[in-house]
Each structure stands twice: as C-alpha cells, then as structure tokens.
Amino acid sequence: LGADLIVVGSRGHGTLGSLVLGSVSAELVDHAPCPVLVARRPGLAKAVLALDGSAAAGQALELLATWPIFRSVTLTVVSVAGPAPLLGTATVPAVEAKLDTALASLASSAREHAQKVASDAAARLAAAGIAVTASALTGDPAHAIVEAADADGADLVVLGSRGLTGLTRLRLGSVTRGVLHAASASVLVVHASPGSVGLGAGGGTDMTEHRRSWD
C-alpha cells in the first residue's frame, strides 16, 4: 500500500510477558517498512521526542518537523547521557585519582553532547512552528525517557530505532523496546532509512564516541 504509518493497539503484557508470549506490536516495530504508532492514549496534546544523535533519531526529528498533525502539539525534546562506564578500581592512590578524573570527564562530555543534541533539535522544531523545550537527562535511557514522559503528562513518546531484531536485539538490549513496554503513553517508533545521517555534535556522526546507540 505504500503506507506512511502503521497504527496498532497494545494489550500491555509488560516486558516479561512480551518476551515469553511474543508481541504483535513489538514485531511490527522490528520489521515494519514505515513508522509504527503503538496507540495507548485517545488524544495528542503533549509529546516527548527522545534523541540519541543517531540516524534514526534524525528521521524521527524530521517526521515531527514536517507532519502537520504535530503543529499543535506541545513537545519536549530529551536526550539522555547514559550511565558512566565502569573503569574498575585501583589500589594505588595516584592511579585511582586518574580513573576518577577520566570518569568525570566522560560523564561531563556525555552530558554536554546530550544537551547539544536536545538543543539543536529544539531549534529545528521551533523553526517549524512547534512549541518545544529541550532537556538533557542522565541515567538508564529507557527508564529516563519513560520517567520524563510520565512527569510531563505526555500522550506520546517518539523515538528512532535501528531495527535490530531477534537474538541480536535480545543480546544487545534495546531502549526502543524498553520504552515500548514500559511507557503508559502511546509510542511512535521511526526507523532509519539507508544512507541517513545522525545528529551528532560534529554534524554527521552519532553518539558512539561515548556510548552505543540506544538500540
């Protein structure tokens, strides 16, 4: 049909139930050739756009900026600086101090990058006539996104996905799938198309300098 969007409901089995029973909505998110809306709310007044600087996130941003249905939505753009990596411990005080400094530097860099991704995206959306605010969050990305949506009273969470499937997704984990199962709001998932570029601070790279893409 050349559809621009697939809309599906969700019975809300939860994470464990979906892993055991399977989930039509999750399978659609994995395999659909177009964006998928998992509908849980009857209206659309507030939305949260979650970005990680990836190509898929860039396409989610452009969808919100160009689809007329989002013109009247109050939007919050969030980007999450994930948990700091574990660098281990050292018995030598001088080495321990260097590890602490490196960890603090990584955390600061991640927060700055997240703020820039969110702020740049908010500027793009504001230019399209959308009421928008930007926020940089820290912590586990899926949990932080769901918490932000709940705190904002959002009707919709929008995020990108690289579309990992099957055992690859189970092995790597997925922020997209985590949000899909945990959010009380509707969830709109946008896949990256071949050749698309990311939203990194450098203009064409994603956030892999300090963490893997959320998917």
Both structure tokens of 75: 């939007």
Residue 176 identity (one-letter amino acid): T
CA geometry: angle 145, 42, 142, nearest 5 deg: 10
Q: Is the pLDDT of residue 59 over 80?
A: yes
Q: What is the pLDDT of residues 164-215, one digit of tens each?
A: 544 444 433 478 888 988 899 999 999 876 544 444 433 333 333 333 444 4
Q: What is the pLDDT of residues 6-18, one digit of tens each?
A: 998 876 555 444 4
Nearest residue to 140 (alpha-carbon basis) of 103, 105, 173: 173
